[in-house]
Amino acid sequence: MIDAHCHLTYPGLKERVENVLAEARRALKAVVTSGLPYDAEKSPGFPGAKEALALSERYRGFVFVTLGLHPTQVPEMSDEEVAEYINFIEENRDRIVGIGEIGLDKYWLSSEDDLKRAREVFLSLLEVAEKLGKPVVIHSRKAEEEAVEILSSYSLDGRVLLHSFTGNMTTAKKALDMGYFFSINYKVTNTKSMRKIAKTFPLESILTETDSPFLSHEAGVNTPLQVRLILEEISRLRGLGFEEVDAITTRNAVSFFGLEKQTSERTSDKSLPRDT
């Protein structure tokens, strides 16, 4: 099992991340965390991103990092801060496995000025992904059609992961035809389009994620370990065994993020924290 998208340094998880990862390591092959620039207090110096990178060093071969800029954070940042953060991403290119999450959000961003700036920054980050040859993890809430249209203009070789996609099936099928991937989370239990993707799209196009600490299946904080629930639901929808769905979606994530060498070396890496 692999959790292809979560937020280990976000409040709710960060306070108990060592225990969470100790539990996750017993069951999962890897966890991919999205390192966004700021913490909840918008402390200077991109603490969320730096904490994510530090975790990936401490849990080498198990925790991997994508660095991105959530569209709802864009209005909080000056042009200079955005440029500094992009430079930070480029400086850490060898420590990350992708650019994300990045994209558009028409649910939380309502003013045209904010949306315009979010588009501009989205384009800039896609150019960074092209330049660095990194896959992208896309946030596109209520903006799926526009995001896919924008993505089609970039040379990303199909290395696009539509995180938590709940758009219409016409857009979903267009993305599938372009070779894009979909990460399924707990919304699969109650969202029509995600259920249809999980049930009918080629399993080779699907990854699993928790988006933790968000999207808990019950009151409280979600964790990467709950990716098992997603796999169980996909298995039920498709009428396939858990092991088969797990094997294919895990292989998809390893290939998408290029984790082959790192995860294979994990068991022999004595620097990895051990359970006590």
A 10 A CB-CB count for 244 gives 12
Question: What does DSSP assign to residue 178?
Answer: T
Count Cβ atoms within 10 A of the Cβ of residue 125 and give its class: 0-12 exposed, 13-18 middle, 19 or more buried: buried
213 prior amide bond cis, ω within 30: yes
Report the binding-site residues. 5, 7, 101, 139, 163, 211
A 10 A CB-CB count for 120 gives 13
- Rounded-to-integer distance, Cα 213 and Cα 40, Å: 14
Are residues 4 and 13 in contact, defined by beta-carbon separation less than 8 angstroms? no
Are residues 161 and 140 in contact, defined by beta-carbon separation less than 8 angstroms? no
Report the binding-site residues for a divalent metal cation. 5, 7, 101, 139, 163, 211
Q: At what angle do helices 169-177 and 192-200 cross, to 10 degrees?
A: 40
User: Which tokens belong to 163?
Assistant: 């995180």
Are residues 224 and 20 in contact, defined by beta-carbon separation less than 8 angstroms? yes
- Rounded-to-integer distance, Cα 6 and Cα 184, Å: 12
Backbone torsions φ then ψ of 98, nearest 5 degrees: 180, 170
Question: Positive or negative, the Cα torsion across 94, 120, 206, 217?
Answer: positive
User: 22: which residues sit within 8 A by CB, 6+ positions away?
Assistant: 273, 275
